[in-house]
Homo-oligomer: A and B are copies of this chain.
Amino acid sequence: MSRPTVNDIAREAGVSLATVDRVLNARPGVRDKTIFAVNEAIARLGYIRDMAAANLARSRRYRMAVFLPDGGGQFVQTVAAAMEEAAQQAAATRTEMTLIRYPAGDTHSLAALLAGVDPDEVAGVALMAPETPVLRDAVRALRHRAVPVVALASDLPNAGCDHFVGIDSRAAGRTAGVLMGRFLGNRPQRVAVLAETMLLRDAIERRRGFDEVMLADFATVDVLPTLETHGATEALRRGLAEVLSSTEIGGIYLLGSGHRALTAALEGMGLLGRVVVIGHELTLHSRSALQSGHIHAVIAQNPGHLARSTLRVLRAKADRAPIDEGQEQLRIDIVIRENLPD
């Protein structure tokens, strides 16, 4: 009636407790035939290992290290906060987290930090960083020392991470594209595209997805080249003014962050609310811009989910346990004023 225990398995398989234990924990010294018999019994009884008791017995603690760029925009701040919160929750499952900031963009520093990670101390590493050769090697080295590594928000496809927690940037860009097209009403229009920098893989992928959709489904819309602002509000204003001097604009696609600077610039030009603005990531600024109608849609990933998923995945990897793909898949959230979460 109650859940079967290791003792039941031992009895059912006709072996001793020690052998069941060896099989369960993949310890050596068991014949294949016996391993099979034990697994057979496990399947027959529908045994589910009680991870709570297991971890208790191990008196194991999972110490995870999360690396985030230190400057970072609002989004990084949001993720950091979500991480802290998730960590507090995860404490109940013997999982701890250390948040480590590295100089934004300085992947050499980050690589050095990663090289200093002690596999006996740290059960897993998560990092949000642009992909560079140095970093790729550092990740490889880490994994070689049997430390699970997951990429956060921005994928590192060639570094061989164990997992990527985040959304598909290209699909996110496509989603932004469809919304832009539909919100514009498929009339002949021009759309400006703004980005702080095109160095990050994410921005490039988003732009790709956006263009794909616009080209295929909204041919009457003319998408202008990306205007890089390098984080400078003044550059944004000037660039935007220049574009506007030569042509009319129906919509603006904000590839990365910078909601605040954009709304400021638009306000100065008296364009607030008169052009369709679509951006990425839900931050304090984009929230209020959505609320006041200055931005019309934001494509986002839930930072809370991102954080919890990160810790869960790292823990699963540390346990060499399978991960629940369904639960870990991050949704591409479309946020408008009406479905803004509290």
Contacts and interface: CB of A to CB of B under 8 A. Distances in A.
Interface of A: 2-3, 48-53, 55-56, 61, 85, 89, 91-94, 171-172, 174-175, 177-179, 182-183, 185-187, 213, 296, 299, 302, 304, 308, 324, 326-327, 329, 331-339, 341-342
A175 B324 contact: no
A50 B60 CA distance: 13
Contact of A52 (B52, B174, B338): B52
Contact of A334 (B61, B186, B296, B339): B339
Contact of A327 (B187, B304, B335, B339): B304
Contacts of A326: 85, 304
Nearest first, the 8 A-B pairs at minimum CB distance are A185-B185, A52-B52, A332-B339, A334-B334, A175-B338, A174-B338, A175-B339, A51-B92
8 contacts: A3-B91, A52-B94, A174-B338, A179-B336, A182-B296, A302-B331, A332-B339, A334-B336
A225 to B, nearest CB: 23
For A52, A56, A93, A174, the residue with the greatest tally of chain B CB atoms inside 10 Å of its CB is A52
B61 A2 contact: yes
B333 A333 contact: yes
For A183, A337, A338, the residue with the greatest tally of chain B CB atoms inside 10 Å of its CB is A338
Contacts of A336: 175, 178-179, 334
Contacts of A299: 339
A187 B171 CA distance: 29
